[in-house]
Amino acid sequence: MTATNVTPPQLPPMPLPGAAPHVNDNVTPYGAGMITLERASRWYKQVIGVNDVSCRIGPGITALLGPNGAGKSTMLKMITGQLRPTTGRVHVFGMPPFANPKVYRKLGYCPEIESNYPDMTGREFVTMLAAMAGLPSATLKARVDETIALVGMSHACDRKMDGYSKGMRQRIKVAQGIVHDPEVLILDEPFNGLDPVGRREMQNVLNAMGNQGKCVVISSHILYEVEQMTRNILLMSNGRLMAQGDIYHIRSLIDSHPHHIRIATTDPRGLAKRLLDLPYVLSVRLDQMEATSVEIETRAPELFYAQFPDLILEHGLVVSSFESPDNNLEAVFKYLVNG
């Protein structure tokens, strides 16, 4: 028997048929949530920004995804109480957030806007907003220092923000959002302007908050970065909530689109032949460039994942890796937004 080297897929397999669908409690229409939207709509005169959105968002990281103009920022503005819903309701901790200090005590917000107070230093900016957030003066300085260090801005926090790079402004914006240790943190495009190291550091900070049970909502268009942080998504398009919940569960529900699975092997032709014998495999394509991989299309990915190990063991095939390009956020995003 040939030694088989099977690399686990990049992403966990989808649920088997018949199994209870896994929908994460983080984003669910009817579960408990720190943030609740009930049929919330927001109009800008004749233009609708958010259209009849209902969802509840609980602890952990949730990604709010959608193309430009999808209504993400409007939704975040309603959650952060800058805008009122035209119809429907938005609640944070059971309270309407608009101009509500009780909500803001538990809420941190990192807006997408670039602007800051140009004459202030980063430290002054964070200190002012920390004081406004109600941090006691006895612990204010220590907490500000700690937060500035956490976002990696200790070296530049005493410089005027006017001279900050985009990445620095982004970091200091996140610092003001988390300085009061909020229960709910809303971030609008927090990775804009950050270099790869900065993104990684920011991801770590946000992951830590999510792991502490805080509700972290991240609006982003950089899908692969969000994908590294969470499986829970809210996907918006044209003001509507197109999908919500666990990304893999959402993908599994999209039956109209065959799933693609790419398998790297030392014997692509042999593997292709075996795969074509499987009734649920719709097509098999050999990669002409690499000549070491095979890509299949199937409408029953769960069945495929279940039977594939037996298949390679039975025929002594060497598989170095397999992955499903369909299972990433971008693919799901395209399916749902573009149809």
Partner 1 sequence: MSDLTLFTTSLRDLVRPKKMLTLVLLLLLSTGVAALWRYNTAGYGPEKSVEIYNSLATLMIYSFLLVLLTITFGTSIISTETEQKTIVYLLTRPVPRWRILLTKFAAVVLVTTVTTYLAIFLLALITYGPSELGNSGLGRDLEILPIGVLAYGGISLLLAVLLNRPLIFGLLFAFGWETWVPSLPGSFGRLSVMTYLRVLAPHKTAAEIAAEAAAAANPFAAAPDVITHPMAWTVLAATIAVSVLAALVVFSTREYVPREDAA
Residue among 4, 54, 82, 86 that touches partner 1 (CB under 8 A): 82
Q: Name the residue with tokens 């995003």.
A: 333
Dig out the tokens for 256 from the structure: 């109209």
State the minimum distance, in angstroms, from the CB of residue 109 to partner 1. Answer: 5
What is the spatial distance between Cα 258 and Cα 314, in angstroms, rounded to a whole number? 26
The yes or no reply on residue 94 touching partner 1 (CB under 8 A) is: no
Q: Parallel, antiparallel, or unpaired: how do β-strands 215-219 and 87-92 relate?
A: unpaired
Binding segment (CB under 8 A) for partner 1, from list 81-89, 191-199, 270-278, 324-332? 81-89
The yes or no reply on residue 80 touching partner 1 (CB under 8 A) is: yes
Residue among 59, 60, 66, 81 that touches partner 1 (CB under 8 A): 81
Binding mask 171-190 for partner 1 (x = CB under 8 A): -----x--------------
Number of neighbours of residue 67 by Cβ within 10 angstroms: 13
Count of residues that bind partner 1 according to CB under 8 A: 42
The yes or no reply on residue 191 touching partner 1 (CB under 8 A) is: no
Binding segment (CB under 8 A) for partner 1, from list 94-102, 253-261, 273-281, 282-290? 94-102
User: Strand pairing partners for 304?
Assistant: none
> At a CB cut-off of 8 Å and minimum separation 6, what does 207 contact?
61, 229
State the minimum distance, in angstroms, from the CB of residue 176 to partner 1. Answer: 7
Site for partner 1 in 100-159 (CB under 8 A): 101-105, 107, 109, 111-120, 124, 127-129, 131-134, 136-137, 140
Q: Parallel, antiparallel, or unpaired: how do β-strands 232-237 and 87-92 relate?
A: unpaired
State the minimum distance, in angstroms, from the CB of residue 134 to partner 1. Answer: 6
Residue among 3, 47, 289, 291 that touches partner 1 (CB under 8 A): 47
**At residue 267, what are phi and psi to the nearest 5 degrees?**
-130, 75
State the minimum distance, in angstroms, from the CB of residue 16 to partner 1. Answer: 44
State the minimum distance, in angstroms, from the CB of residue 242 to partner 1. Answer: 19
Site for partner 1 in 303-322 (CB under 8 A): none
Residue among 74, 170, 237, 327 that touches partner 1 (CB under 8 A): 74
On whether the CB atoms of residues 244 and 28 are closer than 8 A, the answer is yes
> At a CB cut-off of 8 Å and minimum separation 6, what does 74 contact?
42, 49, 50, 83, 239
How far apart, in Å, are the Cα atoms of 219 and each of 58, 204, 326? 16, 16, 21
Q: Name the residue with tokens 């500000």.
A: 144
On whether the CB atoms of residues 27 and 53 are closer than 8 A, the answer is no
On whether the CB atoms of residues 227 and 329 are closer than 8 A, the answer is yes
State the minimum distance, in angstroms, from the CB of residue 180 to partner 1. Answer: 8
Question: What is the radius of gyration, based on Cα positions, of the chain?
Answer: 23
> At a CB cut-off of 8 Å and minimum separation 6, what does 162 contact?
118, 119
Residues that bind partner 1 (CB under 8 A): 44, 47, 49, 69, 73-74, 77, 80-84, 99, 101-105, 107, 109, 111-120, 124, 127-129, 131-134, 136-137, 140, 176
